[in-house]
Amino acid sequence: MSYNLYLPEGYLIGTPENREYTSTPQNLERAMLSGRILEGMATLCDTSLNLTVDLGCMRGIIPREECALTAEGEIVKDIAVITRVGKAVCFRVKRITRDENGEPVAILSRREAQSDCMEHYLKHLTCGDIIPSKVTHLEHFGAFVDIGCGVVSLLTIDCISVSRITHPRDRFAVGQRIYTVVKNIDPATGRIYVTHKELLGTWEENASLFEVGQTVAGIVRSIEDYGIFIELTPNLAGLAERSGCGCRGEDITVGQTAAVYIKNILPDRMKIKLVLIDSYKGELKPKRLEYMRQVESGSHMELWRYSPTSCRRVVETDFRIPVELQRGN
């Protein structure tokens, strides 16, 4: 895949190229003639739901109908416009004119930028492609991510990490820049779905960070009758049996920090046995996301096997076959 020119919104606004093109009316005209995609900060939504964009050298206007890519005949929703205020928006310059006071004003189109992104980038993605993304919104069922020029994809909560979380905010924050992998493409609609856990390493890669006999900090993620699951990394959790807890089990709640002793590491069973030493509120934040493999725009993976080869249980993502036929998902 060639270099990605269609980045999530907010990636271009601070670049030297973007600043140059928006520095003078002449440079903005050059961008218009070449069809260049630029970014600016949306500062106002007027009563007619047109966006005002600060271009530096002049004021820009994105008319409501040019604020987002929609299906033919569909009207741009109010929420799609007003939620852009205070954020970077991508656009192509359609024309430069003058307002009622004789001041230059650029008429812009975010819709054209998104259409160009869809036609020349998103339509050419295949399952397994690794792409830059930006978290735009969090819901209990997953995170919505910008995968290019404000085009949004759903990252479901079960695809965020192997260690199960109660809400995507346990892992992400709005505005966070991440990488995702194209998981599925709906052939009927062209809608793209993405995944993330495959970039956070296999069981063995994560387990290699720890040794039997260590006492380490983790986060309580799940409390079951048979034990307590403690997250050691985003893609690795161990089980502390309730009977072996060094603190009162009834005092433990999901989300707490836990000090745990590593009793055993069992690759053939894909298990880490822990002894809970203590638990307490707050203090330990979720670990910073660290990708276990080199990721960059344009790289690709075909098969990711989470489980060790010695383990009979196979957990993998095979991007070469349909999602519904994959094992362990």
Count of all residues that appear for the chain in the document: 329
Residue 2 binned pLDDT confidence (cut-offs 50, 70, 90): very low
What is the domain partition of the chain in residue ranges? 16-120, 126-200, 203-280
Mean pLDDT of 293-314: 88
List phi, psi (to 5°) of 78.
Answer: -55, -45
Q: What percent of the chain has pLDDT above 70?
A: 91
Instruction: Give the integer Cα–Cα distance in Å for 178 and 87.
Output: 18
Fold classified for 203-280: OB fold (Dihydrolipoamide Acetyltransferase, E2P) (2.40.50)
Instruction: Give the integer Cα–Cα distance in Å for 317 and 314.
Output: 10
Give the mean pLDDT of the chain. Answer: 91
Mean pLDDT of 38-42: 97
Q: What is the pLDDT of residue 97?
A: 96
- Looking at the domain that runs over 126-200, which CATH code has it been given? 2.40.50.140
Q: What is the pLDDT of residue 13?
A: 95
276-290 pLDDT tens trace: 998 887 666 666 677
Q: What is the pLDDT of residue 288?
A: 67
Instruction: Give the integer Cα–Cα distance in Å for 232 and 201.
Output: 13
Q: What is the pLDDT of residue 247?
A: 53
Residue 257 has pLDDT above 80, yes or no: yes
Q: Which CATH architecture has domain 16-120?
A: Beta Barrel (2.40)
Q: What is the pLDDT of residue 268?
A: 96
Instruction: Give the pairing of strands 303-305 and 271-280.
Output: unpaired
Question: Model-level pTM?
Answer: 0.90
Residue 64 or residue 287, greater confidence: 64
CB 197 within 8 A of CB 159: yes
Q: What is the pLDDT of residue 276?
A: 93
The one-letter amino acid at 216? V
* Residue from 319, 320, 317 nearest 328 by CA: 317
Mean pLDDT of 87-99: 96
Instruction: Tell me the three-class secondary structure of 177-223, residue by residue.
Output: EEEEEEEEECCCCCCEEEECHHHCCCHHHHHCCCCCCCEEEEEEEEE
Q: What is the pLDDT of residue 112?
A: 97
Region of poorest pLDDT, from 55-69, 109-123, 295-309: 295-309
